């Protein structure tokens, strides 16, 4: 396996806590690159190495050029990036969801926090995978068993269809090339699907971490959501690519290109948006881009923001 250049991705335990980090660093008229675990900042005064893990927010002012490798490190280190005007007086862009409303997030939190509604959504997700079966009375254990049998059947069917030998799913997350060609193709295909799922989830303002089937991980809902499409999209593609593979080919790249084309040709993102909104009980005509902020009241419901409210005393009439 080709040795990865630079420092390895830091574990969460190796990163500084947010409360222990420098709050922000402002840069302008500079070039940003990466060397090992440091952001390399170059301007007309010289070069500075900034440890990525000690900064909370990086403010990028006018005249900043940043490389892909630098952004990779910034993301791995949990550093936020904000593009701002000169001296940080205006904010132009940051890693914010396309959706400015929180209706999906609120619904998701409500649904996942109640055992009855969480089970209902989990069953609904399994029902989407078994449209011809009634799963409304099945327990989570029964649903997992049914899904496991279904995936094994899909693997066998694709093996027979393409002529690609199949034994079992196995892979080393630290060594992509250690797996068989079909397992490498499956890993590459699923990774692309996870990326698309994440993009849809965060773009609509939902949480990638509040899963209904998977739990305990910051990508739990991404795994939930991606599982809806594996048997139909990524598994068949992985077997088809492997059937055309010859030793020496870059099977990871071949698979990613095939998956990319399938995502576009099959209009998968459009379907994902509709599926996500249906799962989280949001009407199709909701204005997901409404830039409205209200105040919450425990008795009076939502109240307008930007109003100067007078002091309320217990003897006042409601």
What Å distances lie between residue 228 and 134, 176, 221, 248, CA to CA?
17, 24, 11, 32
* Residue 206 covered by a domain: yes
> Would you state the pLDDT for residue 153?
94
111 and 89 both lie in a single domain: no
> Would you state the pLDDT for residue 155?
95
* Residue 147 covered by a domain: yes
> Would you state the pLDDT for residue 185?
94
> Domain span at residue 73?
12-94
Distance CA 40, CA 66 (A): 10
Asked which of 59, 94, 129 is the last residue of a domain, the reply is: 94
152: three-class secondary structure by DSSP: helix
84 and 108 both lie in a single domain: no
Residues in the chain with pLDDT values less than 70 = 1-23, 87-89, 95-100, 282-294, 296, 298-318
Q: Consult the annotation and say whether 133 binds a ligand.
A: no
Asked which of 71, 94, 117 is the last residue of a domain, the reply is: 94
> Would you state the pLDDT for residue 199?
85
> Would you state the pLDDT for residue 20?
54
Distance CA 80, CA 205 (A): 17
> Would you state the pLDDT for residue 285?
47
For residue 118, the tally of other CB atoms under 10 A from its CB is 19
DSSP string, 275-293: HHHHHTT--TT--TT----
Model pLDDT for residues 180-192, shown as the tens digit of each residue: 999 999 999 999 9
> Would you state the pLDDT for residue 101?
77
* Residue 7 covered by a domain: no
Q: Considering the entire predicted model, what is its pTM? A: 0.75
Token duo for residue 36:
């090992």
Q: Consult the annotation and say whether 227 binds a ligand.
A: yes
55 and 119 both lie in a single domain: no
135 and 82 both lie in a single domain: no
> Would you state the pLDDT for residue 113?
96
CATH number at residue 180: 1.20.120.920
> Would you state the pLDDT for residue 267?
85
CATH number at residue 78: 3.100.10.20
Closest by CA position to 233, among listed 278, 193, 275, 279: 193
Q: Consult the annotation and say whether 214 binds a ligand.
A: yes
Distance CA 43, CA 8 (A): 27
> Would you state the pLDDT for residue 282?
62
142 and 30 both lie in a single domain: no
């Amino acid at each position: 396996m080709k040795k990865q250049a630079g420092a390895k991705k830091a574990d969460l335990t190796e990163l500084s806590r947010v409360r222990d980090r420098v709050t922000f660093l402002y840069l302008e008229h500079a070039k940003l690159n990466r060397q090992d675990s440091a952001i390399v900042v170059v301007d007309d005064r010289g070069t500075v190495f900034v440890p990525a893990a000690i900064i909370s927010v990086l403010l990028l002012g006018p005249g900043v050029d940043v490389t892909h490798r630098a952004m990779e490190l910034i993301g791995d280190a949990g550093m936020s990036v904000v593009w701002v005007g000169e001296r940080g007086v205006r904010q132009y862009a940051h890693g914010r969801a396309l959706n400015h409303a929180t209706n999906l997030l609120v619904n998701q939190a409500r649904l996942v926090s109640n055992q009855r509604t969480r089970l209902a959504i989990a069953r609904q997700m399994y029902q989407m995978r078994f449209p011809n079966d009634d799963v409304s009375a099945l327990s989570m254990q029964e649903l997992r068993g049914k899904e496991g049998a279904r995936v094994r059947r899909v693997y066998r069917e694709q093996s027979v269809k393409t002529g690609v030998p199949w034994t079992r799913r196995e892979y080393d997350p630290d060594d992509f090339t250690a797996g068989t060609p079909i397992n490498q193709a499956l890993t590459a295909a699923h990774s692309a699907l996870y990326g698309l799922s994440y993009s849809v989830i965060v773009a609509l303002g939902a949480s990638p971490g509040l899963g209904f089937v998977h739990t305990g991980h910051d990508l739990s809902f991404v795994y939930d959501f991606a599982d809806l499409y594996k048997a139909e999209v990524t598994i068949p593609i992985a077997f088809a690519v492997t059937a055309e593979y010859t030793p020496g080919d870059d099977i990871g790249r071949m698979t990613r290109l095939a998956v990319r084309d399938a995502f576009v040709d099959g209009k998968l993102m459009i379907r994902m948006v509709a599926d996500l909104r249906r799962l989280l009980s949001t009407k199709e005509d909701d204005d997901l881009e409404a830039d409205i902020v209200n105040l919450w009241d425990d008795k009076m419901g939502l109240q307008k923001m930007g109003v100067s409210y007078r002091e309320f005393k217990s003897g006042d009439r409601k």
